[in-house]
Amino acid sequence: MVVNARSLKRMKRRVTAEFPDFLGFPAPGSGQRIAGAPFRSNIKAFLARHAVFPPPSSLLPHLVTWQVLFRAGDSPESPENSSPPVVCVDVVEEDVARSRSVYCDQCRVVGWSGHPVCTKRYHFIIKADGNSIGGFVKPCPKCGDSIHLADPRCKTCQHVMTSDETEDWVYNQLEDTSHLLHGVVHANGYGHLLRVNGREGGSRVLSGTDIMDFWDRLCKYLGVRKISVMDVSKKYGMEYRLLHAITKGHPWYGNWGYEFGSGSFALTQDSYREAVETLSHLPLSFFICQGRKPRTHIQDLIFFYQSLSECELVNMRDLFQYVMSLVHDVQKSSLVSEDSFKKRRSCAQGVLCAWTTTDIKRVEAAMIRVLRAVTGSKWVSWRTLRGAVCKVGSPELLDYCLKELGGKQTPEGSIVHSRCNPNTGALEVESGNFSLLGNSGCAYPSSLNYPSREKILQDMRFLYENLLHPLTMMNFGPKGRRECAVSAASRLLDCKQFVKNYKPETTLPLENPSAIMIYCQVELPEYLSEEHTIRPPPELITLPLKATISDLKVEASKVFQEVYIMLKGFQAEELVDYRGVEDSTQVRLLFPSLLTVRIQGRCPLKNGLSRFRSERGVERWTVECGCGAHDDDGERMLACDGCGVWQHTRCAGILDSEAVPAKFLCIKCGGTSKMAFDNAGLNCKDESIMIGGGGGKSLAMLFDVR
């Protein structure tokens, strides 16, 4: 394998301070930013600037591994000899024509399946263990001990490591889901963020935000076009794309500009936005207004966090934003200050109440009498206290007074304490012996018992399962609103593909005194039919100011041959909108810089290059699903044994947890929505990348990203 590694002597002489700062690379205004060039050129300049040329010999020339070292922040001020951690970013340059996996599954489901297969793929990887994929030391496939490739015989078990075993090891690294970062970019500038694992995913130094910040800056620096991400991330055991959409209105990746790319089951961007608004603005009153029915645990939790919050919690977004903020506050400090959970004093803030002061004082006095009647210092649950005074006022008034009862003073001078029982999770109050006298009128004694981080997370998971997740959402009225909420939550879970358009053309100078830049769109007349159409994205071409049409054709031919495998023999022949113009005509006399020009040419396919026609591969399939989908969207599908048309298993009535039938007929072929003549657990008629359960075609894979 080609390893772009700095020599050991050079590494010893270098100090950590010489490495670029991972948390700030590339620094704004540092002069390092690459401008005026496409990704295919920028990646070469980046590697040449921050790495060393590979050695002449190689075991795997189609997998060139470069190493770029960064420091994670600045050195601590003390002690003197300490230095910041070093982050190794591996850049694996993959020769796609010789790869084990020629086609890109991510392009296939995000809408780029029509792109021709590129000649190169660049993997950007940060391993969780801090080591590098490159280097001359590899683990022995037999015993696991280290083997230096200069002497491939293991000194422990005497096994001789072959080039095939080395190749297997490298490909296993490319498929490893534990990496802190794994992004891949094709030579044409389109790429995919495959995974991000922060501290919850095993990172000891970098947070998920640190890694995403670096990735975003790197993509801008290299001039990538678009990056997609399949968001199937988990946070605290919950689907984070659903939780974050409710609290922020967009997925976590939306913090860096990733937007709706494509939805499964034919969902659109408007449908996604509507689902976000519907679920996030669902009133909490639907869950807590139950008249005089016995109080449930979900109601207790909602009232409890409403009582803790300084602001009024009205809807789903308010509730989950506040609970998430408590989790973050606890993470920042193991000793949470009382101000983090400061109680909202509604009356003090001028909140209008539906009851008079006399009504409120009457109910509070009744509650305090009940607490005084309890012998000793004994905690009383909210539910018990509410039941004891249920005839004193309306249910709404009782709930309001319960929330405001903590910190009240009894006639004897003691204080009413509130807490969340650490064992049962029940909300409780007691009339303790703590006196306000001599405490400057403090309304909140320091002995208040607030929930721990574990208890908050437990509560949040309970709220998530009962209020958000479509499969476990509790029943509430009116009935139509629950059905609408379940539908909205399902749509949010079905939207996994998000894309950021970096628009590198917006960073190009409008006028270049020494060159002219043209976007070239290739058209191939022999491949204009719908089945065989080949339309690669336009490529940016830079020419001297005095370049002619002939120069443009030569450069366009060279660029497209460099980027796409099947265009190795491409020859540009004429400009579609400028037919008849002499080849000696200067380009700048015909059109200005940054204009898109259509170039027609021919590309004889030889030596089996036709299989590189598109990222979707050579197979042809037809998708016609009842949900409206007409192409692969990454969800599990099966084909009709009669007509061969594909549809989603879910739309055919087959649950994700069920195996696909051995024989299936769609409705058009005389079947029903669910036909299982022999439920033998066979897979669908395509490759399967599954998350457990039955077979089928699916690209979704689970991994933590934070």
- Of 118, 89, 115, give the one whose Cα is nearest residue 101: 118
* For residue 402, pLDDT beyond 50: yes
Quickly state the pLDDT bin for 260 (edges 50, 70, 90).
Answer: very high
Question: What confidence tens digit (pLDDT) does each residue in 8-61 have?
Answer: 333 433 456 678 899 998 876 554 456 578 999 999 999 998 886 655 545 677
Write out the H or E segment, with its range, that includes residue 359.
helix 357-373
Closest Cα partner for 382 from 415, 395, 139?
Answer: 395
Which residues is 540 bridged to in the sheet?
A: 519
Give the pLDDT mean for 336-343: 46
Q: Residues, the chain, total?
A: 706
Residue-level pLDDT at 556 = 96
The answer to whether the CB of 640 falls within 8 A of the CB of 684 is no
What is the pLDDT at residue 657?
85
Could you read off the pLDDT of 219-234 as tens digits, one per residue? 999 999 999 999 999 8
Share of the chain above pLDDT 70, in %: 79
CA distance 551 to 199: 52
Q: Which two tokens stand for residue 519?
A: 């976007």
Contact indicator for 433, 422 with CB cutoff of 8 Å: no
Q: Can you tell me the mean pLDDT for 478-504? A: 93
Rounded to whole angstroms, the Cα distance separating 180 from 311 reads 37
Give tens-digit pLDDT for 265-318: 999 999 999 999 999 999 998 888 766 667 788 888 898 888 788 888 999 999
Instruction: Name beta bridge partners: 21.
Output: 71
- Is residue 529 classed exposed, middle or buried when 0-12, 13-18 and 19+ CB atoms within 10 A define those classes? exposed
CA distance readout (Å), 64 to 5, 9, 100: 11, 22, 15
**Residue 383: φ, ψ to 5°:** -65, -40
Residue 401 to residues 75, 299, 431, 441, Cα–Cα distance (Å):
54, 15, 15, 21
In sign, the C-alpha dihedral spanning 451, 283, 245, 469 is positive
Pair of tokens at residue 239: 């689907």
Higher pLDDT among residues 242 and 83, named by residue: 242
Q: What is the 3-state secondary structure (H, E, C) of 387-452?
A: HHCCCCCCHHHHHHHHHHHCCCECCCCEEEEEEECCCCCCEEEEEEEEECCCCCCCCCCCCCECCC
Spell out the residues 6+ positions from residue 244 whose beta carbon is closer than 8 angstroms to its own.
235, 250, 251, 252, 254
The answer to whether residue 441 scores a pLDDT higher than 50 is no
Question: Could you report the per-residue pLDDT of 115-147, keeping only the tens digit for each?
Answer: 999 999 999 999 988 887 766 667 787 787 777
pLDDT, mean of residues 99-110:
92
Specify the DSSP element, H or E, that contains 558: helix 549-563
Provide the token pair at 14.
């270098």
* Contacts by 428-434, CB closer than 8 A, 24 or more apart: 428/379, 428/380, 428/381, 428/382, 429/371, 429/379, 429/380, 429/382, 429/385, 429/402, 429/405, 430/371, 430/374, 430/377, 430/378, 430/379, 430/380, 431/368, 431/371, 431/372, 431/374, 432/377, 433/377
Which range has the top average pLDDT, 159-173, 257-271, 326-340, 665-679? 257-271
Mean pLDDT of the chain: 80
How far apart are the C-alpha atoms of 198 and 638, rounded to whole Å?
36
What integer pLDDT is reported at residue 422 of this predicted model? 65
354/397: higher pLDDT: 397
The predicted pLDDT at position 44 comes to 93
Query: Lowest-confidence range among 22-26, 340-344, 346-350, 553-557?
Result: 346-350
Percentage above 90 pLDDT, the chain: 39
Q: Which residues contact 415 (CB under 8 A, 6 or more apart)?
A: 407, 408, 409, 431, 432, 434, 435, 436, 445
For residue 62, the model assigns a pLDDT of: 83
pLDDT tens across 153-211, in order? 787 787 777 777 777 878 888 888 999 999 999 999 999 999 999 988 888 889 999 99
The secondary structure of residue 280, as a DSSP letter, is H
Could you tell me the pLDDT band of residue 674, with boundaries at 50, 70 and 90? Answer: low
**Each residue's pLDDT tens digit, 351-393:** 445 678 888 888 888 888 888 887 566 788 877 888 888 888 8
The pLDDT-based confidence of 697 (bands split at 50, 70, 90) is: very low
Q: Which residue has the higher pLDDT, 317 or 654?
A: 317
The answer to whether the CB of 576 falls within 8 A of the CB of 599 is: yes
- Cβ 644 vs Cβ 637: under 8 Å: no
Domains of the chain, first to last = 3-192 (no CATH), 287-479 (no CATH), 509-612 (3.10.20.90), 621-706 (3.30.40.10)
CA angle (101, 106, 112) in 5-degree steps: 110
